[in-house]
Structure formats: structure tokens, C-alpha cells
Amino acid sequence: MSKGDNRLKILYVLDELRENSKIKTQDDTDRFMSANCLIKLLENKYSLTADRKSVYNYIKSLVQYGYDIENTRKGYYMRVTEDFELAELKMIVDALSASRFISAKMTKKLIEKLKKLTTEGADSLTKRPVYLEEAVKGDNVSVIYNVDALHKAIVTDKKITFHYQKTVVDYSRTEKLVSVNKKEDDGKDKLYKQSPYALIWKNEYYYVICYDSVTEKEKTFRVDRMKDVTCCDNESRDGAEYFRDVHFEKYANTAFSMYGGEDANIVLRVKNSLAGVIADRFGKKINIYHDDDSEYFRCSVLVQKSAQFFSWLSGFNDDIKLVFPKEIRDEYVSYLKNIVSSYEADTVNE
């Protein structure tokens, strides 16, 4: 279309705001465009006339449509949402650096790619006054490709094959902890075949929930321990009926380890100061009850009964107590007594 078409005014205003937002300046406030500036641009570049009221209406319409346009005394500034902002990239870099399941080599590779998404302070993505806990990084550089292969298998209803690793002490050469594939009885690498149904992010790791056709039960695998994940394009999954009524979000929230446990409804007696701990662990949509002592409250939660749950509970001494049901409370007491007994029976060489 030719210049001078009045129907295009609002689109030209949008173009100018978008281009102006990409200009590299020391401060975002330098990028604001006044209504007078936009009026002059419409006239000089597009042979169009407009008044201030028209510009106000164009901006109002663009905001209503969904564009992120800031309006201040200095004028208008549009944040270009289709591109990453520097603040967003910094947050992604922090998450990558702290992630346990992404190897150090892959972390470095991904950060270098992220740097290419911005020319605005690219070095500041890594040279920043943010102090992260040093992550214990895995050594499986293929983990992100494992996730991609698992997504494909789940979406296309296919089985997968893979090798699964364990950590062992290598005394023979390095005297270090190393990862090796699990073996068959004859010493060959064991090849697993499973039907994957859900990927769950839990405790800083990815897990995949599968159906095992041999045992006819669910199995859980940590994705960063999987190697050579292959989608079996010609073999459909088993276990659809087994997982028909399983809610995986609920599964993830109730599990204290991702390796299963019997579901149990329990009542905890909690000190008021630990309300945040309960919210972080179980969420805020739980049943709360009064306790006889005003410094405590009671709550009903669903957990997967396991040694990991008992271990979590023991970390709070008597500030969080398991009060119901009695049979699980008795199991917990036995768990604690067994630990004490094992220490009392040990003779430690000092």
C-alpha cells in the first residue's frame, strides 16, 4: 500500500514504538517517545497528519489489544515481549547455574547461546553480584535430549528403551565416585524397555513415571541417570488402564521420594512458626484444625508413607508431630528406635 493511507496510522505508531524500544541506551527512560514525536514521525516518514488526541487513542487501542506500553510524563515506551529482556535472561542463567541435573558442560553451552539473544550487557549474564549455592552437577550431558525423547514417546504413545546408570566407588583407577550402566547377570549392560506416562520435576531433578510390562506395575526413573534413550516408533505403550485414574500432579505433591510409597491420610500437629514449612511442602489448600495449645495447629494431609517421609518429619524434632493414625505413628516411633539402636550397637573407631 502507498504511504499516506490513514488506515495505517495505528500500525505505523506500533512500528515506531517497537523499533524505538530496541535502541541501545543506558536507561530505559531514554527510550520514551512523546506524542509530539510520534506526530512528527507520522508526518515526515509516512505523509500522515495526526493530533495528540488521535495518538492517545492509538496507544489506548494497542494497550487494550495486549501490547505492554508504559505511559509516563516523558511519553510512551513499549516493552518488546517477543524478545527476551535482559532481566529475564539473567533469571534463566541463575536457574541453569543452580540446576543439579544439567551438567556443567551443558550449562556453559546453554549460557553461551543465551548470550547471543542479547547485545545489551551480554557479559552481565555471568558477571553479576548474585551468589548461588554451588550446585552438585551431574555428568550426563545428554539429559536435555533424554527429556525431548521422553516427551516424544509420551505424546505419540510409544515405548522407550534406555540404559540406566548407578554410582559406584572406583577403587581400581581413580578412587572416585563414577557412573556406570547397570548390568545383567552375564555382565552386559542392561537394556530397559518401559512405557513412559509422565515427566515430573521434583527435588531439583526430572523423573519419568513408567509402566513395566513384566511386573505389571509402575516404575520411576531419574532422567539424568538414563542413557541412550530411544523412542520405539513401532511399539505402542502398555499400561493405559493402570494409569487411567492416576493424577500425576497429586502424585508429585504427596511423594517424599519419587520412588513410591503407600498413600496415607495423616494428621500433623504443627508449631505456628512452621506454617510456611507446611505450605511449601503440601500447599495452602489443606484442612486446618485448632489445637488445644494456641501455639500449635493441626492439619490433615495426604502423603506417601516411606522412610523419606519419616526422615523429613524427624528433622523438626517435636515441633511437627504425627498424631494420627496410630498405626503410622507407631511405625514412625519404631523407625526412630531402630536408628537409635543401630548407633548404640556400633563400635566406632575414633
What is the full DSSP assignment across 139-156? Answer: --TTHHHHHHHHHHHHHH
How far is the first Cα of the chain from the last one, in angstroms, to the nearest whole number? 88
pLDDT at position 5 is: 62
198-213 residue pLDDT tens: 888 776 678 888 999 9
Q: Which of 124, 39, 41 is nearest to 88 (CA)?
A: 124
Under 8 Å between Cβ of 79 and 183? no
Alpha helix positions (H), 79-234: 86-98, 104-115, 143-156
Domains 6-78 and 251-344 share a fold: no
Q: Where are the beta strands (DSSP E) in the chain?
A: 69-72, 75-78, 158-170, 176-181, 191-202, 205-212, 217-222, 226-236, 262-271, 287-290, 296-305, 320-324
Does residue 114 register a pLDDT over 90? no
Does residue 18 register a pLDDT over 70? yes
Beta bridge partners of 176: 170
Q: Point out the least confidently predicted range of 12-26, 40-54, 155-169, 312-326.
A: 12-26
Q: What is the mean pLDDT of the chain?
A: 79
Cα 153 to Cα 198, 199, 220, 235, 279, distances in angstroms:
10, 11, 16, 10, 34
Does residue 344 register a pLDDT over 60? yes
pLDDT at position 130 is: 46
Give the integer Cα–Cα distance in Å for 276 and 192: 41
CB atoms within 10 A of CB 81: 11
Instruction: Map out the domains of the chain as residue ranges.
Output: 6-78, 86-125, 144-244, 251-344
48-83 residue pLDDT tens: 888 888 888 888 888 888 888 888 888 888 776 556
Give the integer Cα–Cα distance in Å for 25 and 36: 21
pLDDT at position 82 is: 56
246-260 residue pLDDT tens: 777 666 665 555 455
Give the integer Cα–Cα distance in Å for 171 and 187: 19
251-344, CATH topology level: Alpha-Beta Plaits (3.30.70)
Report residue 347's pLDDT band, with 50, 70 and 90 as the boundaries.
low
Query: pTM of the full predicted structure?
Result: 0.53
Place of cell 511437627: 320
Give the integer Cα–Cα distance in Å for 52 and 39: 7
Cα 134 to Cα 160, 204, 270, 301, distances in angstroms:
33, 13, 32, 33
178-188 residue pLDDT tens: 778 899 989 89
Report residue 133's pLDDT band, with 50, 70 and 90 as the boundaries.
very low
pLDDT at position 1 is: 39
Span 131-155, average pLDDT: 70
Report residue 134's pLDDT band, with 50, 70 and 90 as the boundaries.
very low
6-78, CATH topology level: Arc Repressor Mutant, subunit A (1.10.10)
Cα 198 to Cα 155, 159, 228, 247, distances in angstroms:
10, 12, 19, 10
Candidate ranges 120-134, 225-239, 240-254, 303-317; pick with highest mean pLDDT: 225-239
